[in-house]
Structure 1
Amino acid sequence: MEALDGQPMERDGGVMEEEEEGQGTFGEQDKEGMEASSPAASSTDEGTDEDSESEPPPVVRRKVSFADAFGLNLVSVKEFDHIEVTESEASPSEERKVIPLVEDFYVSCLFTVPSSTEELEERLQAQMVELESIGLLPGTTTLRGMVRVVNLCFSKCVYVRFTLDHWRSHFDLLAEYVPGSSDRRTDRFTFKYTMIPPFERDGTRVEFCLRYETSVGTFWANNRQMNYVLFCHQKTHIKEPQMQEEITTYKGKRSCLKANRWRA
């Protein structure tokens, strides 16, 4: 009975020893696993990552080849047939075109200048100074007048007195001598005056008279006491370019010729 009681204890003890041994091996495996996942191993991995990032990037080398090295042409020429542009394609560009405005300026005078040499001589004998001609310079609003005076002395001055408000105010403009215009008996002077737009509806009224100063005396010319009065007008109209008309004519024409079709 005692022997029977002792065997199970040995078996139990053997079993217990085996379990303890198994536990011991399992604990060693856990320790090895913990060592494998320890921070020391991760630190080495980080070190390798930093080393890989510090390496310089690879250099990319590009190779250039020219077309003539492969027997090709360096210049490529393309030919296009002349075709008629449809109205849908041409209309947007035509709408963007700005049609220029052409401004014409002209004067209408309430006086007449001498129409002949005899008439000019007659007026010069009466007042020693006379307006010979006046007009606008082409394409501008600048008045240009020519004045003829009797050569009474060497030193002389010619002034043009202007007013734009019916003599409520006025200003004097000095005329300039025209070189080489003297015929010993008379001299010629010229003046210019530029008017600034916009003009009035019926035109800008300009009124003036002439004053001739010499050592002998001062002489005036004022259109027989009525002054020289003129109006400067502005006329604006739209001018279409000629190219626009040619394009329109070209679009309206259709060819009456038909291409010959050859059959084999």
Structure 2
Amino acid sequence: MEASSPMASTDEETDSEPDPPLVSRRKVSFADAFGLNLVSVKEYDNADVTDVGVSKPTENVALSAEDFSMSYVFTVPSSAEELDQRLQVQMIELETIELLPGTATLRGTIRVVNLCYNKCVYVRISLDRWESYFDLVAEYIPGSSDRKTDRFTFKYSLHPPFEREGARLEFCLRYETSVGIFWANNKDMNYVLFCHQRGHAKEQGPQVHEESSRSKRSCLKAISWK
């Protein structure tokens, strides 16, 4: 037999199908098969959190009675008779004042003569010695009327940080009725309060009382209200 020609050998190689590619099989093993933990936990201390720039949420810290120091340099009526006398003259008077402990919040009650059914009571407040002011609406206290008088209440909070000398608040009272408008302003000296935050307070001592007796300035005299 004669040997096959090179051409015939070439055709057989061309017509034959190529071998399929080799498929590599991957083997998966779990950590628990080797006695390891499936979960890895890493703890960070405060220093680590600071390094990566993550900010911590601000916590609301309750303030104690020593965090704020508030004082006022006026007096409220000490008896029902004194209150009645002031009401007969000006139709409105500050009855009580309360400085809430541990806060920069004040709360007061106002007594007015019941001149008519519809009435409005405002607290006019200034924080810059009457360069500017705003009116705070006092709310009627349900069931407080004795037919002759009515009671209203108000509440206001100062917001720190304060200046180095603290915060000074002055206010007076306005009573609007259909028969006229009436004012109470602590005998032309206004109602003056001081508030300091702990670490920034200055000793007031008797100087505060000296100022109240020396300064007779009133917002009612400085500005003509209409």
Given the two structures, how large is their TM-score scaled by the length of structure 2?
Answer: 0.59
In structure 1, the gaps of 5 or more residues are 1-46, 65-99, 238-264
- TM-aligned CA deviation for residue 220 of structure 1: 0.6
* Contact 2:70–2:104 under 8 Å retained in 1: no
Q: Deviations over 1:51-86 (max 9, x none)?
A: 8x536456879999xxxxxxxxxxxxxxxxxxxxxx
C-alpha contact 1:131 1:148 (8 A) present in aligned 2: yes
SS of the residue 2:162 aligns to: coil
Amino acid at match of 2:132: S
Is 1:150 aligned to 2:113, yes or no?
Answer: yes
* Structure 2 residue 157 is matched with structure 1 residue 188: no
The superposition leaves residues 139-173 of structure 1 with CA deviations (integer Å, 9 ceiling, x where unpaired) of 32222111111111100000111111111111111
Ranges in structure 2 where 5+ consecutive residues have no aligned partner: 1-17, 34-60, 201-226
Aligned-CA RMSD value = 3.0
Q: How does 1:54-69 map to 2 (within 5 A)?
A: 54=23, 56=25
Say which of 85, 92, 104 aligns to 1:122.
85
Does structure 2 retain, via aligned residues, the 8 Å contact 1:107–1:135? no
Cα distance in structure 2, aligned partners of 1:105 and 1:189: 26
Q: From the superposition, tell whether residues 62 and 123 of structure 1 become closer, same or farther in structure 2 (CA, over 3 Å).
A: closer
Q: 1:195 to 1:56 in 2, by over 3 A?
A: same
AA matched with 2:162: F
1:180-239 alpha-carbon deviations (Å, 9 max, x no partner)? 1111111111112221111233321111110101111111101111111111122259xx
Query: Partner of 1:133 in structure 2?
Result: 96
What percentage of aligned pairs have identical amino acids? Answer: 66
Cα offset for 1:136? 2.6
Larger radius of gyration: 1
What is the SS of the residue equivalent to 1:54? coil
Query: SS in structure 1 opposite 2:165?
Result: coil
User: In 2, Cα distance between the equivalents of 1:60 and 1:234?
Assistant: 65
1:202 matched to 2:202? The reply is: no
C-alpha distance 61-231 of structure 1, shift in aligned 2 (>3 A):
closer
Secondary structure (helix, strand or coil) at the match of 1:183 reads: coil
CA offsets 1:74-127 (integer angstroms, 9 cap, x no match): xxxxxxxxxxxxxxxxxxxxxxxxxx8855223211110111111111111111
Which structure shows the higher helix fraction?
1
Residue 164 of structure 2 aligns with an amino acid whose one-letter code is: R
1:179 correspondence with 2:147: no
CA distance in 2, matches of 1:58, 1:165: 80
Change (3 A) 1:118 1:234: same
Establish whether residue 110 from structure 1 lines up as the match of residue 79 from structure 2.
no
Q: Which range moved further: 225-234 or 103-112?
A: 103-112
Rate the CA distance shift 1:214–1:185 in 2: closer, same or farther, 3 A.
same
Q: Which range is displaced more, 101-110 or 201-210?
A: 101-110
User: 2:108·2:154 contact (CA, 8 Å) conserved in 1?
Assistant: yes
Correspondent of 1:222 among 170, 179, 185: 185
Q: Could you say if the C-alpha distance between residues 149 and 59 of structure 1 is closer, same or farther in structure 2, counting changes exceeding 3 Å?
A: closer
Q: Which amino acid aligns with 1:128?
A: M
Cα deviation for residue 178 of structure 1 reads: 0.9
